[in-house]
Structure 1
């Protein structure tokens, strides 16, 4: 448990301290604080830490490990997974066995960097516009990481209740000695929304760097957050704002299906780039060997067979293996499948708006959004638009397509928690070595415990 976290700010590495020191104890070395506008921007552009472009990722994978997008063969479960990773797969109430919980460590490491910017902007000479832009980027990154942490380590948001259940610590300083104090669920989401609303005032509408926040990314994340909060009016409003900036959807008919990695472009310079609003990667540290790794994770037959033969996603997203199909359709940053895309893209926002429109009584326009997306996912001339459905039928159709379009995006766990709060009554089941494991709706295990070494009041 003594791995080294490198957090040197001015040179964009990090000064050494152990994981325990970072979370709870006094560090051996103080952080070196940036002193110029260039230093601050360079820190926020350290996309290996803030976006996970180094192949190791940054957003938690615990939710995806617990979700129903994949299964493992007993042979892979037994031979490839350490006990802690096996516990992730079987929803053990106390899963940790001493392996680093990077799902906690990496996001909070990145939050420390954002707080360094936010807490020291007043010490540099720059125009107010430049300071506002830096602050907006830092606020977005921090809000995004708080949101990601809350999806696995905090109870789900319950609309209309006090939401006073204990949630994640909202670290607001760059002091690694800061005492960790649990917020409430309500406080967590208030902070996330507040940071995002402030950030979109000063972010640029869009930019050429998918790892750098934009106004469109802020609107997209607000739509996702409000959807998670079951506030469908606000989620629709921010989806509108996002798509008003850019609503590009790639026509999958234009993709070369013969490529091994058809949706991957070096630094997102490939064909998928215009659809990506903001790029982050899900955790995929090769030394951890998570249950979600593409080397072992297979697609359930029921999910694979839910794609029609004329649906290009069936060919694009999956490849045949000796024992089933595995996923290959991630919007990746580099030519590798080592970590899945967990950022924001236009297709998700269309699905957000489609669902919200239907829930808000606008069934026809909701189906228009769904049809607009699917026409670009099916073989040309084969798609038959979905029309004349009841509100319940339309919602069912949109949720089914959300599952299929956003597979391995890191949103399924949040969706399942939200839908069960809405009365979805979704139970997950797995069988391993002849033993059946069950995760009922709204079970406490839908919230992962804090790592063993974390002390929070």
Structure 2
């Protein structure tokens, strides 16, 4: 069911969208795209690359620590955080953003969705392209719309539960390019169903290879569908689509982190190829980045890794081996990072990749999902084969891991997910949230500040982000979660 309250997103979209010649001024009656190239141009807008502020949800997790301890530098305190970030870290109830500030990710996601609606609903009307060309453009728009709805529903709603999804508040499904239309808040089930529908329509017309990894491929389509079914707990379906994703991966390959070394520099001076001594490639040149998104959020030099996360990196590490993810992206005890002088954090580890990491769809995540699904419903040995293949690209002198049972394999896989995806986009937040539905993995998160513990139990409503303030102000009767 759709909750029959009205939502006005027109102003939000107009103010946050910037597609130079077209959509920004379309509501005022000016130029409307009418040719194939016009629509392709819209899909190449820089505004579609970004996932503004999504990485801040790491502040909810067990990977990141902020500290006011006397022996810790000011950089790892709270002065660099916006008010909503502080609310995240302390698990404060109620609104997270100040009342005069809107949620940047929510706004940008719906701005992007408006673009994809416009393209999906209009491209088939142009007369200067073949049917195949038009269907490919529509497929990209549908995929990208589904991607945004998937992010939104997993941030601003309950984790998917088949027993309650048909009544749980989801997010508004905006499927028309009419910015003045009125919308309700759809249920979680309705949003997931729309995501699946969009992907099933898109996949037959996605190409094996794209012009760049800013655009989705066939493999990315199958991957996202697999992840949707994984989050729904429908593992057989998820494994089917994950296998199709890996079978159609085309030219995507894992990046071998063993080929890189880290120095104490900051942006442009941190990670280098150990043969050519050139700086690590930009994310659009990295072969494992299947679909690029930039989160515009990083904690470089401003957040500690929890001692628990550091221990996860050290677990199962062969003697004399180096986990390059730990080596390249973190520093222990002290660091410089081009800050002018060293900062000291004795006995602790600070995050400092100082490279732009892809927050979208990654080949390593596909291997991890395949491994998780095999561990859940298939072969523990196949699960470990996927994990060991990934670790061979991450760990010097790697020694293959083995699992005594499927349960053992699943624990190993989930630990590897944490190593691979820490501090990256919303991945850890989403894993914690979905796994809280399983008693074996449900976890209370504790943040300690100046000796005071702040806790977030499993399935607590504070795991659900509130809708953006402007939506609530325009629609005070919009149903909300009590957090």
TM-score greater than 0.5 by the shorter chain: yes
d(CA) in 1 for partners of 2:162, 2:30? 40
1:240 to 213, 238, 243: 243
Alignment of 1:6-405 (within 5 A): 7=17, 9=19, 11=21, 14-15=24-25, 29-30=28-29, 32-46=31-45, 48-52=46-50, 57-58=51-52, 60-74=54-68, 75=74, 76-94=76-94, 95-97=96-98, 98-125=100-127, 126-159=129-162, 161-246=164-249, 248-258=253-263, 260-262=270-272, 264-266=280-282, 268-269=284-285, 273-284=286-297, 293-308=299-314, 310-320=322-332, 321=335, 322-323=344-345, 324-329=348-353, 337=355, 340-379=357-396, 382-405=397-420
In the alignment of these two chains, the number of paired residues is 422
Instruction: Provide, for residues 287-336 of structure 1, a one-character-per-residue CA deviation record: whole Å limited to 9, x for no partner.
Output: xxxxx53241221122123223522222122134322433344xxxxxx6
Q: CA deviation at 1:251?
A: 2.4
Task: Note if contact 1:280-1:342 (Cα within 8 Å) is conserved in structure 2.
Answer: yes
Q: CA deviation at 1:241?
A: 1.0
Structure 1 runs of 4+ off > 4 angstroms? 1-4, 75-78
Change (3 A) 1:59 1:36: farther
Instruction: Provide, for residues 36-80 of structure 1, a one-character-per-residue CA deviation record: whole Å limited to 9, x for no partner.
Output: 11010010111x22122xxxx447335323222211123554433
Once structures 1 and 2 are overlaid, which stretch shifts more, 447-456 or 304-313?
A: 304-313
Change (3 A) 1:148 1:349: same
Instruction: Provide, for residues 243-285 of structure 1, a one-character-per-residue CA deviation record: whole Å limited to 9, x for no partner.
Output: 112362222222244461448423622xxx211111111143x
Instruction: Provide, for residues 102-137 of structure 1, a one-character-per-residue CA deviation record: whole Å limited to 9, x for no partner.
Output: 021110111111111122224311221111011001
Instruction: Provide, for residues 130-185 of structure 1, a one-character-per-residue CA deviation record: whole Å limited to 9, x for no partner.
Output: 11011001001100011111121111101455542010001111122221311111
Instruction: Provide, for residues 191-229 of structure 1, a one-character-per-residue CA deviation record: whole Å limited to 9, x for no partner.
Output: 111111111110111224111111111112112222222
Task: Note if contact 2:299-2:352 (Cα within 8 Å) is conserved in structure 1.
Answer: no
Q: Indicate the SS of the match to 1:383.
A: coil
TM-score under structure 1 length normalisation? 0.85
Unaligned runs of 5+ residues in structure 2 are 1-10, 69-73, 264-268, 273-278, 315-320, 336-343
Task: Note if contact 1:340-1:408 (Cα within 8 Å) is conserved in structure 2.
Answer: no
Change (3 A) 1:122 1:417: same
Q: Indicate the SS of the match to 2:312.
A: coil
d(CA) in 2 for partners of 1:397, 1:86? 32
Once structures 1 and 2 are overlaid, which stretch shifts more, 128-137 or 169-178?
A: 169-178
Change (3 A) 1:104 1:361: same
1:5 to 6, 15, 19: 15
Alpha carbon RMSD of aligned pairs, Å? 2.5
Change (3 A) 1:84 1:347: closer
TM-score under structure 2 length normalisation? 0.81
Task: Note if contact 1:12-1:42 (Cα within 8 Å) is conserved in structure 2.
Answer: no
